Structure formats: structure tokens, C-alpha cells
Amino acid sequence: MPCGCRRSPIEFGIRARPARSHTTSTYQRTSTESVMAWNEPGGSGDKDPWGNRKNEQGPPDLDELFKQLQKKFAGLFGGKGGGGAGRGRGRGGGIGLGFIAAIVLVIWALSGIYIVNTGTKGVVLQFGAFKEITEPGPHWYPRFIQTVDIVNVDQSRSERIGTTPSEALMLTKDENIVDILMEVQYKIQDPRNYLFAVRDPVSTLRQAAESALREVVGTSTMDYVLTFGRSDVADKTEKLTQEILDRYMTGLLVTQVNLQHTDPPEQVKAAFLDASSAREDKVRFINEAEAYSNDILPKARGQAARLIQEAEAYRAQVVQRAE
């Protein structure tokens, strides 16, 4: 077109369309080429639309992974992250390890606190060997080096001797057999001897009490054991049992011995009960006779004294009249 001529709107529109269409086609072609380039082999290499290479995943770098873990732990315990802060990370890791060690030390120290209650005692062992005995109150011991066993020295315990025929049947001095059931009450006197001197202190107590009782019964008659001598047999058995326990260093203290029953064997029990009943009747008759005598004799003496006084008064009256 010559310069200076004016174009009509229609002509302008008609002429403008091809240019816009050309631009659009160029853009579409470029986009299509770009899309086809990373999908089709040989188009743009092995890159994706964002410029990253595909299929580059291999085994992880252990050094890099270890460095990342170091950075995380250093940041957790006060260290500084970053590529060039190695000295900061080392200092932070040292602080973190020191903090953990301090916490472990505090927990270990607190775990060694223990309290010995009233009526108990603590036996302290160091590497399995006896070290000391602690009295009631708060105490501390180094765990894993020492151990503590709490022993109740105030509790009263008991054992029954004669629950089986082999224990119950005993021979007396007059060669009779008696059936005895005995209860032994005891306490722990020395915790150290109780734990270490004897393997089984309770079994030792049972054997010592049975042996002492057999010795006392063997020096007594059957009537003495079954009747009026029961308390004396119990006292002698208690004393002898304690002597045996002290000799073996069991750490036990016998507080009381009770004879719960003393009977003849079942085979002669009926005959013995008849004889015992006869003895009781004898004692009862004697007591009744003594009671009757004690009641009659004072009355008779009173009547005799009264008659004597009356006779003397009558004599004095007659003599006075005669004068």
C-alpha cells in the first residue's frame, strides 16, 4: 500500500487475522515440540519438563546420610547446622552427651535412696558380701555396687512342732509314750546371722525345738508331763531351745513356748482317761473331805470352848455360895 492511504476497518481486520493466526500456530507448534521432546526418545535427552534428569536414582550415599544425621543430632542438642559449622556441631554434640550423662547420673543417684521403717533393719551387701546394718531412717546406697535386704526384726513368728506322728510321739522317763503338740514363738534378733550364718534358720529352729522337747520329756514321768508339770516342761524347753539356737548362731530369739496339748497315744487313750478320771475323783474326794473337816472342826472347837466357859462360871458361882 502506498504511504498515506488509510485502510478500512474491514481490510485491517482481514489483513490482521493472518498475523494472529501465524503467531498462535507458532506457539502451538513450539508447545507441541516441547511436549513431544521429553516424551519421545531423542527429543531433549533424558530430562523431564522441569529440567531434571530421569532415572538417576541409585544407592544412597552413606557418608551424606551420616552427615545429615549428625546435623540433626547436633541441632537437637544445641549444635548449629550448616555446611561449615563442624566445630559448632562437635561442641553441641559434646554438650548433648554431657546432658544425657548428667540425667543418667541423677537417676542413678535417686534410685539408691531407701527408707528403713520402724521395727526393721537394713542389711547392706557390697558385691555380695556383708558390709553393714542400717537402723530405721532414710539411707542411700550406690546401686549396682551394693544391695540392701530389709529384715523385719519386730514381727512375731511361730512354728508348730508335733504336727506329724514322727514329731508328736515322745518317750517319757517311765517308758511311756505321750503325744505332744507345741508352738514356738520367735523373732529375728540378729539379721546378719539370720541371713548368712545358717542356710535355713527356720528349719534349724524346728529341729532344735524338737530336740529340746524330747530331752525334757525324756527326763520326766508321764503323769508329770500330762498333768501338773506342763508349764515346767514348756519353760525348760524354751531355755534349752534358745541355747541350741545361740550355739548355731541362727540370729533367732525364742519369745515363748506353749504346749497346746499333751495326750497319751490313741491306742491307750481310753484307759489313760479312765485312770486320769480316777485320779481326779481321788483328788476331788480328798478336797471335799478337807472342806468338810474345815467346816466341822471350827464349830466343834467353838462348842467345846463354850462348854468349858460355862462350867468354869458354874464352879465359880457354887464356890462363892459356899463361902
Same domain, 123 and 176: no
Domain count across the chain: 2
Are 148 and 181 within one domain? Answer: no
* Predicted structure pTM score: 0.58
**Nearest Cα to Cα of residue 151 among 164, 133, 175, 176:** 133
Q: Round to whole Å and give the CA distance between 158 and 164.
A: 17
Whether 239 maps to a domain, the answer reads yes
Residues 147 and 162 placed together within one structural domain of the fold: no
Interior angle at CA 230, CA 224 and CA 236, nearest 5: 100
pLDDT at 253: 97
Residue 147 belongs to some domain of the structure: yes
Q: Which residues is 177 bridged to in the sheet? A: 171
Range of the domain at 122: 113-152
CATH value at residue 248: 3.30.479.30
| Within a domain: 129 | yes
Q: What is the pLDDT of residues 81-121, one digit of tens each?
A: 444 445 555 565 567 788 898 999 999 999 999 999 999 99
Same domain, 142 and 165: no
Q: Which residue numbers in the chain have pLDDT < 50?
A: 1-39, 41-44, 50, 54, 80-85
Dump pLDDT digits (tens) for 284-310: 999 999 998 888 888 888 889 989 998
Task: Assess if residue 125 is contained within a domain.
Answer: yes
184 found inside a domain: yes
Of 212, 232, 264, which one is at a domain's C-terminal end?
264
In a domain, 312, yes or no: no
- For residue 276, being part of any structural domain is answered with no
Contact 150, 122 (CB under 8 A): yes
Residue 317's pLDDT is: 87
First to last CA, the chain: 214
Both 166 and 208 in one domain: the answer is yes
Scored b (16 or more CB within 10 A) or e, 213-245 reads beebbeebebebbbeebbeebbebbbebbbebb
* pLDDT score, position 323: 75
197 shares a domain with 145: no
DSSP letters, 94-135, are HHHHHHHHHHHHHHHHHHTEEEEPTTEEEEEEETTEEEEEEP
**Are residue 253 and residue 163 in the same domain, yes or no?**
yes
